[in-house]
Amino acid sequence: MFIVWEGSIMRKTGVIVRYELKMQFGRPAVWVVFGAAVLLCQLDSFPSAVNLARLEFLPQPAYFISRIMSFDVLVLLFGLMFLLAGRLSVDERTGVKSLFMAAPLKKSQYAAGKLVGGFFFTFLMLCAFLWFNMAVYFAAAPFSLSVSACVFPLVKACLVCGLPASLFVGFVSVALPGVMDVRLFYMLGAVLFGVNAANVGSAEAMPFYLITSGDLVRLIWRHPRWPFVNWNSVLANVFFLTGTAAAAAVLLLIKRDLWRKGS
Amino acid sequence: MDRNIEISHVSKKYKNGVTALDDVSFTVGSGVFGLLGHNGAGKTTLMKALVTILTPSSGTIRVCGRDTAAQGAEVRKRIGYLPQELVMYPSLSVFDFVNYMAGTKGIRDKTKVHEALKAVEMEEYAKRKIGQLSGGMKRRVGIAQALIGEPQILVVDEPTAGLDPEERVRFRSVLSRYARGGRTVLLSTHIVEDVHQLCEELAVLRRGKLFYAGKADGLMQRVEGKVKLLCLEDERQLAGLDRKAVVLQTTYEKDGIRVRIMDDGGNFAGAKTVTATLEDAYVYCMGGKYYA
Ligand SMILES: Nc1ncnc2c1ncn2[C@@H]1O[C@H](COP(=O)(O)OP(=O)(O)O)[C@@H](O)[C@H]1O
Ligand SMILES: [Mg+2]
């Protein structure tokens, strides 16, 4: 009995997640952002003679992936943040929120569907971005590369850096505009991403609040002259990303007028 | 008695001080039930309370014997709701949208979605994007999502407003068909004709207060023998009239203005009494021609 009940809870959340993804992937603006980030990435890191002469480590796939992770992915995520910011207000605007509230659906199912939808969407876009650019790199490289030499750092980048970064961007972008003024949210987002973009890699421990260029990215590739990993800084980075995501979700859940009052 | 909805002493005062409902009590049986009232009368507020998305300031509502405040989850399993302003997601197809709403109600059987679309004659447009539909078609999709899962109670808020006559007729037949076999369709409207055609029973709200509830025939009895015909010479006489009686109809003719009134207070004992029509009853009920 309890299991059936639990199963149906997950199922309703799953339905919302599925349609959140369907609607997001159908938006032309999403693909404009994706295309712009791909273009930027290829201009900077395509294995052309010019770029190979400019970037000493470009022949290493792990370097390639860590390079695009720390900058080009940031551009992608910044765009997605804006596109995800309206995922709660769209339900108010279109009247669909009334349907959800009149349906046998709980506040937690609704919030979870929206949040997890935002996370999956961000994660899938980020993975698609990394895999696509890596494929171009692999096909165009004027030197021989083994598939495994490309796939290993790619998978690592998706899991080690991609997961926490997507969780952060997905949850925060969906939840915070629901609990604060959306203009304030955009300002905070712009400041955070601006600070991120301004932080170029250095040998020092990186600030914990970096989304894609913190010490997490050192787990994919390290400069041979500074091959250390500062584990405290890595953990601080992970905790910042996942902790902020969790806090945003809690704020959304305790917001009283998100849902029908009582029962 | 199979009274599917029991509303007792319901009041709602919004935070801005507006009293949208003031001690409203009535019951609703099976069939199509009309909720009549002008804009701002409180129809939407009452319907929101009924579908549990708004809590009344006082009073109780029972749907199929379940209290909306204490047993909200049980109530929600038994209702379908079409809100007054439903834009839906323009980028989704008709099928996807209805399937999505079905999913949130725990219905995963796709044949049910097709059945609902068939019931509103939208099956051939299942693949079309909602953003590309006409107003009437959107409203039909709205009905389809409300009646999926065949809820015992269907609550539809002004479904015919802004539709052309052909669409209105279609809507009425969908709703009356659904109401057979013990189900209840609660329909709000400010169009007298909707109720006239569809409802055996109705309730009339006026500025948050219940003005009448019961059989449509009962309304006729209220006006019977009180409808009178006056002949006025100019507009000035007309201007003062609505303070003394409810003006039902005015016709401008060459030799003056002919006015049908409902002489509730007996102020026009000398005027000619005429046979009351159902139209008279409704217009009276809605507060007369000059009631806003
Ligand atoms: N959310 C709200 N906050 C404050 N007042 C409201 C709100 N919704 C409706 N009202 C007011 O309550 C009254 C009844 O509104 P409503 O129930 O929408 O009437 P109807 O549906 O009959 O047109 C109106 O005066 C309206 O302005
Ligand atoms: Mg209304």
- Domain boundaries along the sequence of chain A: 2-258
pLDDT value of residue A257: 85
Which of A71-85, A206-220, B42-56 comes out lowest in average pLDDT?
A206-220
* Structure tokens that stand for B184 in this block: 């209840």
- Do residues B40 and B15 both lie within one domain? yes
Whether the per-residue pLDDT at A3 is higher than 50: the answer is no
> Is the Cβ–Cβ distance between A230 and A204 less than 8 Å?
no
What are the per-10-residue average pLDDT scores of chain B (292 residues)?
90 95 97 93 97 96 95 95 95 98 95 95 96 94 95 95 88 92 93 84 93 87 86 82 83 87 82 84 77 57
Question: pLDDT-based confidence at A203, cuts 50/70/90?
Answer: low
Q: Is residue B285 part of a domain?
A: no
Range of the domain at B263: 225-275
Q: How far A233 CA sits from the closest chain B CA (Å)?
A: 42
- Residue A117: partners with Cβ closer than 8 Å, 6 or more residues away: A16, A17, A19, A20, A21, A24, A87, A174
Residues from chain A that touch B143, judged by Cβ atoms under 8 A, are none
Identify the contact set of chain B against chain A, taking CB-CB distances under 8 A: 48, 51-55, 68-73, 76-77, 79, 81, 83, 85-89, 91-92, 96, 100-101, 103-106, 108, 145
The torsion angles phi and psi of A222, rounded to 5 degrees, stand at: -125, 145
A191, two tokens: 């400041």
Helices (H), A141-209: 147-156, 163-179, 182-198
Same domain for B68 and B206, yes or no, is: yes
Is B134 a member of any domain?
yes
**Cβ–Cβ contacts within 10 Å for residue A178, how many?**
20
> pLDDT at position A93, please?
95
pLDDT band of A1, cuts 50, 70, 90: very low
Ligand 1 pocket at CB < 6 A: B 14, 16, 18, 20, 37, 39-45
| In-domain check, residue B288 | no
pLDDT digits (tens, 9 = 90+) for A222-248: 888 888 888 999 999 999 999 999 999
Residues with Cβ within 8 Å of B175's Cβ and at least 6 positions away in sequence, in order, are B32, B143, B154, B156, B159, B185, B187, B198
In angstroms, the CA B220 to CA B214 distance is 11
Q: State chain A's mean pLDDT as an integer.
A: 91
The last residue of a domain, from among B177, B193, B220? B220
Domain count, chain B: 2
Examine the domain organization and report whether B137 and B24 are in the same domain.
Answer: yes
Count of CB atoms situated within 10 Å of the CB of A107:
15
Interchain proximity B52–A12, CB inside 8 Å: no
B237 and B204 together in one domain:
no
CA of B230 to the centre of ligand 2 (A): 35
Q: How high is the pLDDT of residue A9?
A: 67
Which residue in A90, A95, A262 is closest to B83 by CB distance? Answer: A95
Question: What does the longest C-alpha to C-alpha distance in chain B come to?
Answer: 68
Angle, helix B135-147 to helix B94-104, in steps of 10 degrees: 30
- Closest among B189, A66, B123 to A58, alpha carbons compared: A66
Domain of residue B124, CATH code: 3.40.50.300
Which among A23, A95, A99 has CB closest to B92?
A23
Q: What is the pLDDT of residues A147-183, one digit of tens each?
A: 999 999 999 999 999 999 999 999 999 999 999 999 9
Backbone angles phi, psi at B41, to 5 degrees: -75, -20
Instruction: Give me A248's structure tokens.
Output: 């945003």
Distance in Å from the first CA to the final CA of chain A: 22
CA distance A180 to chain B (A): 21
pLDDT value, residue A200: 66
So what's the pLDDT on residue A206? 83
Best to test chain A binding among B44, B78, B88, B104 (most A CBs inside 10 Å): B104
Q: Is residue B148 part of a domain?
A: yes
Return the closest-CA partner of residue B99 out of B145, B151, B156. Answer: B145
Residues of chain A found within 8 Å of residue B104, distances taken between Cβ atoms: 12, 15-16, 99-100, 103-105
Output the pLDDT for position A201.
62
Residues whose CB is less than 8 angstroms from the CB of residue B19 and which lie 6 or more positions away in sequence, other chains included: B11, B12, B13, B208
Q: How far apart are the CA of B260 and the nearest CA of chain A, in angstroms?
A: 42
Is the CB of residue A37 less than 8 Å from the CB of residue A68? Answer: no
| Domain termination site, one of B187, B220, B253 | B220
Contact call for B106 and A11, based on CB within 8 A: yes
Whether B280 is in a domain gets the answer no
> Over 50: is that where the pLDDT of A29 sits?
yes
Q: Is residue A262's pLDDT more than 70?
A: no
Q: Give ipTM to 2 decimals.
A: 0.91
Residue B290 is predicted with a pLDDT of: 66
Q: What is the pTM of this model?
A: 0.92
